[in-house]
Structure 1
């Protein structure tokens, strides 16, 4: 049986992408979708054959439709509210919202005590691979200068992006000297030893690009991920929802779902090889 989903922020860019991706999959179905800008129920917009209902009805819809998981790409304040409502109903939450402050992060942790919550700054599998590559490269190239640059569309609110922050945390974990983050440069700004440059660009409708530059010893290494469509993130969020539904309360990471999928693939491949050797 497929996983029944509740989708918040359904009229936003990512909400639409999640609904579009769900419509093409057999392992998920949309129980309902909500948005703050939806009109009253009788006038609710129809988005890809899914009625978009007012977000104020979320508690009632969770009780009546009983979804397996909620997928949220909205804003920090609304996300905290939606995840809390889902947790109260015993529904798992997959959160792609970024920009939480300490209070918001604490609220998500409290919700995770009642229901499973998986939060990720980026649901692209390629970004997961990028972070792993960055960890290895930084460890293998001690002393090399590191610069992190991210580029997104001109409507993105938080800077640097959540993915860039994850990359920066990875760099800092790999370097015991606790490098200093320097956001942009202006005027006389020679590079200090141990700093990590951080640059955020906002332009046009760019979906998302992250580059990590390591330079030293008369050479440079560039690690780049470029997302060409929001469907990449929507598909990853749906994969996470399928994996998360039915799990015990707690805080989970997208890496958990990716690793589990990789292990399952390895097991299938091993089974196929054993079957082939018997024929």
Structure 2
């Protein structure tokens, strides 16, 4: 089966990666591509239409899945349009407010919605083990450092927040134990979880968890060498989601196999 993709933000970093990924696969094709900013008519031979036309294009082209890596405000609009058209949606956008997340969840009552902060299989593996590492080392200090390119807007990254939730669940604490950076006289308190966001150059993405104590340390690191890894995962997610019933999903559901 070939999954037919509707790609939003087609001229952005991830939009271009998604178009390139689909072009190299036998199980995916781009049904339509839209972009909010005018000026680019095509990407790698794929016509780019105005984002304002998304609703009519969804009705006309009948794609299998909308794939969105844009921004929180536009993402909510695009998923609402997908829900209206009855088209499943894969969302890789991060930085949502609670209200915006509620809007996405509301859409999942009408269509399948898969929301993930990261579509790298290695990150999912990290999420699967980080809680055990922290739980097995009670009393050890925990620090998280994430690094991204200088154009990334949200901090900490959505992936970092996912990792933090795993750590907090393992420790049985709330997010009020997070300490974002340190300045001046800032001694570490027992149970603090340090969080540090670096933004520089064109770094694709790196996350490292440091667990240290008792004269030893454990480091769990994931480094993405290319955005292509995220595009591949997102297309895998789209193919999987196209076969699901309405509801709310994450990338871990894809890797667990068919339901």
Q: TM-score range by the shorter chain?
A: over 0.9
Post-superposition offset of 1:126? 0.3
For residue 251 of structure 1, give the secondary structure of its aligned residue in structure 2: strand
CA contact (8 A) 1:38 1:55 kept: no
Asked if residue 58 in structure 1 is aligned to residue 50 in structure 2, the reply is no
Q: Could you tell me which of 140, 155, 159 is aligned with 1:159? A: 155
Q: Distance in 1 between matches of 2:255 and 2:134?
A: 22
Deviates more, 1:177-186 or 1:84-93: 177-186
Q: 1:38 touches 1:52 (CA, 8 Å); kept in 2?
A: no
Structure 2: which 5+ runs fail to align? none
Give distance in 1, aligned partners of 2:130 and 2:25.
Answer: 32
Q: TM-score, normalised by structure 2?
A: 0.97
Q: 1:209-260, CA deviations, whole angstroms, 9 ceiling, x for partnerless residues?
A: 0000000010000000000100000000000000000321110010000111
* Kept in 2: contact 1:118–1:244 (CA 8 A): yes
The equivalent residue for 1:12 is 12
Preserved CA contact (<8 Å) 1:8 1:35: yes
Alignment map for 1:15-94 (pairs within 5 Å):
15-39=15-39, 45-94=41-90
* CA distance in 1: counterparts of 2:121 and 2:169, whole angstroms: 21
Distance 2:67 2:38 in 1: 17
The 8 Å contact of residues 4 and 68 in structure 1, kept in 2 or not, is answered as yes
Q: 2:168 aligned to 151, 172, 179, which one?
A: 172
Alpha-carbon deviation of 1:177?
4.2
Return the alpha-carbon distance in structure 2 between the equivalents of residues 246 and 213 of structure 1: 39
Give how far 1:178 is off.
Answer: 3.9
The range that moved more, 177-186 or 77-86, is 177-186
**Unmatched segments (≥5 aa) in structure 1:** 264-279
Q: Give 1:131 deviation, angstroms.
A: 1.1
**2:113 matched to 1:117?**
yes
Q: 1:132: which partner in 2?
A: 128
Runs of 4+ in 1 over 2 A off after TM superposition: none
- Deviation string 1:163-209 (CA, Å, 9 cap, x unpaired) is 00000000000012446000000001110010100000000000000
Which of 176, 183, 186 is the equivalent residue of 2:183? 186
Residues 92 and 246 in structure 1, CA contact (< 8 A), matched pair in contact too: no
Q: How does 1:212-251 map to 2 (within 5 A)?
A: 212-251=209-248
Q: Distance in 1 between matches of 2:193 and 2:102?
A: 28
Return the index of the structure with the highest Cα Rg: 1
Distance 1:177 1:57, change over 3 A: closer
| RMSD, matched Cα | 1.2
* Deviation for aligned residue 1:38: 3.0
TM (norm. structure 1) is 0.91
